[in-house]
Amino acid sequence: MEKKRSFWERMTGSVNVEEEQEETKISSKSSREKKQDNNWIEEENEEAELAIDVYQTPTDIIVQTMVAGVKPEDLELSVARDMLTIKGHREESRTIDEDNYFSKELYWGRFSRTISLPAEVEPEEVEATEKHGLLTIKVKKVDKDKKNSVKIKSI
């Protein structure tokens, strides 16, 4: 069974050490056959998985991911109390014949990532910023210790 490669592996062309060892065991094939067997050129209907960092501050959950080359209008972010989903599309603007490539490791196409958040958050209190290709999402944690005094009205 083939393991789906992470966005980072696709973006950088890196391979898992175990997979690399398996590849060396495969009998010698032509380079075109190896490219087709090696899945580093993805089909258009597949989605890559984003690599992310998730950490917390006392009041927020912070999620960071690289989205270089993606326009903000090509990104979709949805937040629930315990889940966060990032979807997007990176378009290749150049048209170069496949035969003219020596190496093709950059990932172009659809990508997404859904994660379970480590704490309950306020879906309405989200701040997302992008700077130099780094998308930073800041989501406010639910303050379970917060209390609200309600004044009772007589009618």
The pLDDT, as a whole number, for residue 143 is: 79
Interatomic CA distance for residues 62 and 74, integer angstroms: 21
Tens of pLDDT along the chain (155 residues) come to 556 677 666 666 666 655 555 555 554 444 444 445 555 444 445 788 889 999 999 999 999 999 988 888 999 999 999 999 999 998 877 788 888 888 888 888 899 999 999 999 999 999 999 999 999 999 999 877 777 778 888 88
pLDDT score recorded for residue 116: 93
Token pair of 125 as six digits: 């209190």
- Domain edges within the chain: 7-141
Instruction: Please state, in angstroms and rounded to a whole number, the distance separating the CA atoms of residues 49 and 8.
Output: 8
**CATH architecture of the domain covering 7-141:** Sandwich (2.60)
**What are 111's two structure tokens?**
């990508």
Two structure tokens written together for 83: 């889940």
Query: Which residues make beta-bridge pairs with 85?
Result: 78, 114
This prediction's pTM = 0.62
